[in-house]
């Protein structure tokens, strides 16, 4: 999918620069997720935060225990709206 992440680089604080499959590049500040609490509290630990990896086109932490949907990251980083195209059924 065009919103899959192909490269991610830590910038500062809770900011990450993301390069996407469609050539888009943007920056996302994940601090807003930490403010929500719950499972994202783990991202307060900067060593843990910096240990992100790319798996299946999105950012993951730990052994896949924490991730954020790639379309959410795409929208946040680029300001573009993610839309899904459906195949039209063939008419006989």
Q: pTM for this structure? A: 0.85
* Owner of token pair 């798996």: 55
Please tell me the predicted confidence (pLDDT) of residue 37.
Answer: 73
User: Looking at domain 5-78, what is its CATH homologous superfamily?
Assistant: NE0471-like N-terminal domain (3.30.2020.10)
Which residue in 3, 1, 2, 4 sits closest to 55, CA to CA? Answer: 4
Please tell me the predicted confidence (pLDDT) of residue 2.
Answer: 79
Please tell me the predicted confidence (pLDDT) of residue 1.
Answer: 65
Calpha distance 29→16 (Å, rounded) = 7
Mean pLDDT by groups of 10 residues along the chain of 92 residues: 91 97 95 86 94 96 92 94 67 49
Structure tokens given for 46 = 């900067």
Instruction: Name the residue ranges covered by the structural domains of the chain.
Output: 5-78
Calpha distance 4→57 (Å, rounded) = 4
Calpha distance 85→7 (Å, rounded) = 25
Please tell me the predicted confidence (pLDDT) of residue 92.
Answer: 46
């Amino acid at each position: 999918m065009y919103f899959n992440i192909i490269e991610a680089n830590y910038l500062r604080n809770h900011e990450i620069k993301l390069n996407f499959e469609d050539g888009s590049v943007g920056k996302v500040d994940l601090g807003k997720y930490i403010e929500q609490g719950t499972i994202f509290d783990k991202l307060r630990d900067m060593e843990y935060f910096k240990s992100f990896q790319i798996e299946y086109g999105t950012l993951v932490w730990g052994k896949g225990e924490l991730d954020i949907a790639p379309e959410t990251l795409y929208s946040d980083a680029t300001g573009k709206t993610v839309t899904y195209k459906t195949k039209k059924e063939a008419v006989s």
